[in-house]
Structures are given as structure tokens and as C-alpha cells.
Amino acid sequence: MANLAIQTHFPNASQVIYGCMGLGGGWNQGKVGTSEVQQAENIIDVCLSEQINFFDHADIYAFQKAEIAFGGALKNQPTLREKMILQSKCGIRLAEDGQVKHYDLSKDWIIKSVEGILSRLNTEYLDILLLHRPDPLMQPDEIAEAFSILKRSGKVDHFGVSNMHSAQVQLIQSSLDSPLVANQLEMSLAQLDWLNEGITACQPGYQNIAFSAGTIEYSMMNAIQLQSWGCLAQGLFSGRDVSNQSQVVQATASLVSQLALKYQTSLEAIVLAFLFKHPMNMQAVIGTTDIQRIKNCTQVANVNLSKMDWYLLFETARGAEMP
């Protein structure tokens, strides 16, 4: 089992996180009914039986219906709450009431958001609250005040961020009394800038890397748990039809299949094993609602890619040898 930074605060935290964006019936204006709540219950039960005890939400997922469905499951089975680590995010405000989509990390909005999250989830507290995206107008002292109020009231135990680079994390941290515990970023075999950023110094042709330098290293040095969203790239290398994809994607999918046979494991486990090989010891947020795929993901616990297989996957997915 990997030594995760988050285990300083939650010793039994699973490395695989279940991301709940797919719950609640989708991004529409439909009502959450019995079937959506039952789906959430089934997935929670499967996850816990497969040793996944970490659940990730955001207030906007499925227009709040993901949290409502999950909260319905907790209402039906209240004892589930003590068996899990519950995380949600706030700060994105979707376009409504004549307003454009925007980000809001003001004190009042953070507090109001958490109150709504707790109500929808049918829980008295969050284990972790993440700020979903950086607000260019954010005031670190105001964020700190919101965090302090939520902490003192027992509504949130720990705080973190999402989609932020190291300088933004440092800026917010400078106003806080307690450490930020997590940063959730897009990292996958399909989106490799998190790795390319670290190997392309002084290399021409890599000016468009969309990952800020030093973010991984800063997190490792400061015990901030990195969490990968989009880690399975929507099944791109684990069963999706790639016949219309690029040669690089097809070659990578083929190699993942070969490695799954070699290691006698699932396609999903190989994709996750590539991520888990990195010494940052990231957590991976999976979002499938397919029960078998959830089980396939947990097979990663038994896979340790060799260094050469890891580099072969990296090279193939990059579409080029190392610089």
C-alpha cells in the first residue's frame, strides 16, 4: 500500500477515490428519484466492499443532484457515513439569473456553499472541502476567515484546493493557520503535461505545456496530497473503441492490453498503475458507474509496473522518445 500524504490525517484513506459526478441522473433538470438513490447506495456498497472509502463530490455535479442522490443513500443507511471519507468542492458558479459563469471564493459564498452541501449530503460535516478552481479575485484573508468559521463550527475538518498551481496554493496557505491537505489536478496517461513539464527543461518545442512548473515538487515537499481527476481518460485506454483515434492513442491502447496480459490484471489497473508508480503517491479519482469497472480499478493494488514498462508506456503515450 502506498504511503499517502493524506494518511497523516486519515490513516485508512484509500488510494482510489470514487468521484460522484456521474450520480444523480445526469446534467439535466430532472428530479432525483428512488432509482438514483438506489444507484448511489449500490455504488457506495461496492466501493466499500472493494476497499474504496474516499468519496469526492462538488456542489455543481449534475446540477447538485449527485449530492442529493448520495445524501439519499446516507439517509437510508446512516451508518455508512462513519465508514467513509467525504470530500466536496465549491467555488464554481454556473451561469444563471442573468449572470455569466464565474468563480467565487468569497467568504459568504464558501460558507453558503458548505451549508448547501451538508444539507444535500445529509451529513453534519465534511472531512475535506476543496476550492474547486482559483478565483482571480480571491482574497486569501477572506478565504482564511471562511475556513476558520467552518472549522470552529464543526462543519469542515480539513481544507484543500483543486486545479491550482503551487504559487496559488502558497498564496492561500500564507493566510491559513492549518495546512492545506490536497490539490486535485488533471493527470492521466492521456494528459501527460504533468510529466512532460518535468523532463523538457531547455528543450525547444515544448512551450505549450499546460502544467505549472514546480506544482508536483511543492506538493511533495509540503505533504499536500495530489489527486488525479480524469485519471482513466473516460476509458480511452481501457475498452473504448479507438479505431478513429490517432496512431499514438491506438498504440497506447494496444500496449495497455499487452501489459494487462503480462501482469494478469485489468486494463484499468494498468492505466492506474502508471499513475501510482510516480513517487508523489497520488490518489486517483475514478468516475465510472459501471460496477465491474469499479472492481477492475481496485486490481491496481496488486500491480507494480517495472521501470522499463513504465517508461515504455510513457514513451508510447507521448508519441516520442525521451528528450
* The pLDDT value given to residue 206: 63
CA distances 290 to 35, 184, 293, 316, Å, are: 15, 23, 5, 28
Q: Which domains does the chain have, with CATH numbers?
A: 11-180 (3.20.20.100)
Tell me whether strands 102-103 and 156-162 are parallel, antiparallel or unpaired.
Answer: unpaired
- Tell me, letter by letter, the H, E, C secondary structure of the chain: CCCCHHHHCCCCCCCEEEEHHHCCCCCCCCCCCHHHHHHHHHHHHHHHHCCCCEEECCCCHHHHHHHHHHHHHHHHCHHHHHHCEEEEEECEECCECCECCEECCCHHHHHHHHHHHHHHHCCCCEEEEEECCCCCCCCHHHHHHHHHHHHHCCCEEEEEEECCCHHHHHHHHCCCCCCCCEEEEECCCCCCHHHHHHHCCCCCCCCCCCCCCCHHHHHHHCCCEEEEECCCHHHCCCCCCCCCCCHHHHHHHHHHHHHHHHHCCCHHHHHHHHHHCCCCCCEEEECCCCHHHHHHHHHHHHCCCCHHHHHHHHHHHHCCCCC
HSE value, Cβ hemisphere, 13 Å, CA-based, for 135: 23
* The pLDDT value given to residue 34: 98
Structure pTM? 0.96
Are 256 and 271 in contact by the 8 Å Cβ rule? The answer is: yes
| Main-chain phi, psi angles of 163, to 5 degrees | 60, 35
First-to-last alpha carbon distance for the chain, in angstroms, is 32
Are 301 and 1 in contact by the 8 Å Cβ rule? The answer is: yes
* The pLDDT value given to residue 98: 86
Largest Cα separation within the chain, whole Å, is 57
Are 74 and 48 in contact by the 8 Å Cβ rule? The answer is: no
Nearest to 123 by CA among 158, 166, 77, 162: 77
Q: Quote the CA–CA distance of 198 and 75 in Å, as a whole number.
A: 46
Give the CA-trace dihedral at 183, 58, 27, 95, to 10 degrees: -90
Are 161 and 176 in contact by the 8 Å Cβ rule? The answer is: no
Q: What is the mean pLDDT of each run of 10 residues along the chain (323 residues)?
A: 91 98 96 98 98 99 98 98 99 92 98 99 99 98 99 99 97 98 97 90 68 90 98 96 97 98 99 98 98 98 98 97 91
Are 147 and 156 in contact by the 8 Å Cβ rule? The answer is: yes
Q: Which residues have C-beta within 8 Å of that of residue 244, sequence separation ≥ 6?
A: none
Q: Quote the CA–CA distance of 113 and 103 in Å, as a whole number.
A: 12
Are 114 and 155 in contact by the 8 Å Cβ rule? The answer is: yes
* The pLDDT value given to residue 134: 97
